[in-house]
Amino acid sequence: MSSDFECREKLATTRKRLRIDYRVMATLLGLGPDGADMVKQWERGCGRISPTKQRAIENLPDTIPFKDDRKKGSFQFIDLFAGIGGIRIPFQKFGGKCVFTAEIDKHSKVTYAANFGEVPQRNGDITKFTASEIPDHDVLLAGFPCQAFSQAGRKQGFLDTRGTMFFEIQRILAAHHPKAFLLENVKQLKGHNGGDTLKTIMAILRGEASAEIPSDVMMSEEARASLGTHFDYDVDFEVLRARDFGVPQIRERIYIVGIRRDKGAPANHERIKEMFGRIIENYQLKVPFKDILVDDPERTRDFTISDNLWTGHKERKERNRANGKGFGYSLFDRTSEYCSTMSARYYKDGSEILIDQSDLGRNPRKLLPEEARALQGFPEEFVIDRVGRSQLYKQFGNSVAVPVIRAIASEMLREANIRTRKT
């Protein structure tokens, strides 16, 4: 272990070399953004650095792969409910500059900081910002919380506080009126409450209803006050499968795209439907499951599940089958075309993608972290070693398939006449 002086020196030089502020450094060290003052003190030679934090300093990253130091991009966008930045990556690649980020999960913020060199303000809680405090932007991006609508959750929709996060998006749209927006959620949103939840969302976004939401639905005063705002967006949605866009997992998600109409132009929601048609027609790419697998028997040995765990997986799946439930492990190998959808519960409750290893005389294994990254289409340079294994799988399970977002971004930016840079 380095000496105390060497440790403090490395802390200061690394922070300056990476061009990150004290809040980001504090997040990378597991202190959280509130630990910025502690980092300052350490750099000045004050305060004790524990052995654990000394090791963390020694293991700081060499680079931040997606850090954007430009003052302005070809267009400006905001990244709401950002997770680990899967929606952000393609839009930044097309020349956009992220001017605001919101994310409350502390572990996701560590991964976000390691890849983008930024951490959200005010603990990443979008409800703590008035709309006027959010910078002007051309594009709004939001993978808003899905638990309230998901098959695995309680499906309470707008009665769940996570479900009401849509209204935070609505109030920001009402205040800033960006040129375009992209919203992502689980496909179950389409059928939630007999389809009425999605109908309400679409009516609000299309400016076709005042959307009188019952008073027992929780939302901020600003959000409720903006419910009657008349929007002039052409809006439509589509359920897209990740396996059709270059990643070998099913992963069906609903994507809602809105593009602002020219002043005085009549509504034309069909153009969004046509845009989705072009996406489906022009961006089809099938990748076999074997392409994401690591062929390294020694590397995969540590991910092989124990006899007891394997027995538990099989028993749990049988119980679920007998009870009419679909949850349980799924087994895949190099002959598989694709796998089932990676869940945020991966590595936690047995609802997981397992890799057959019978040819090696072993029990099945779990995905390697880098395989999970590839399964969601994240670039190889995306940093995945700043959080524990279970948190990492949860992050990828909650994230988006990046190639799907890339295809949508390409077409929606063109449809909205937003200038991009070549990639």
Active-site positions?
A: 146
194: left (phi over 0), alpha (psi -120 to 50) or beta: left
Q: Beta-carbon neighbour count of residue 296 at 10 Å?
A: 9
Structural contact between residues 181 and 201, judged by C-beta atoms closer than 8 angstroms: no
Place of tokens 């977002």: 405
Number of alpha helices (DSSP H) and beta strands (DSSP E) in the chain: 15, 8
Q: Shortest CA distance to 124 belongs to which of 142, 110, 109?
A: 109
Place of tokens 């500059």: 97
Q: Are strands 330-332 and 353-355 parallel, antiparallel or unpaired?
A: parallel
Q: Beta-carbon neighbour count of residue 226 at 10 Å?
A: 19
- Give me 15's structure tokens: 């922070």
Structural contact between residues 77 and 99, judged by C-beta atoms closer than 8 angstroms: yes
- Give me 314's structure tokens: 């099989």
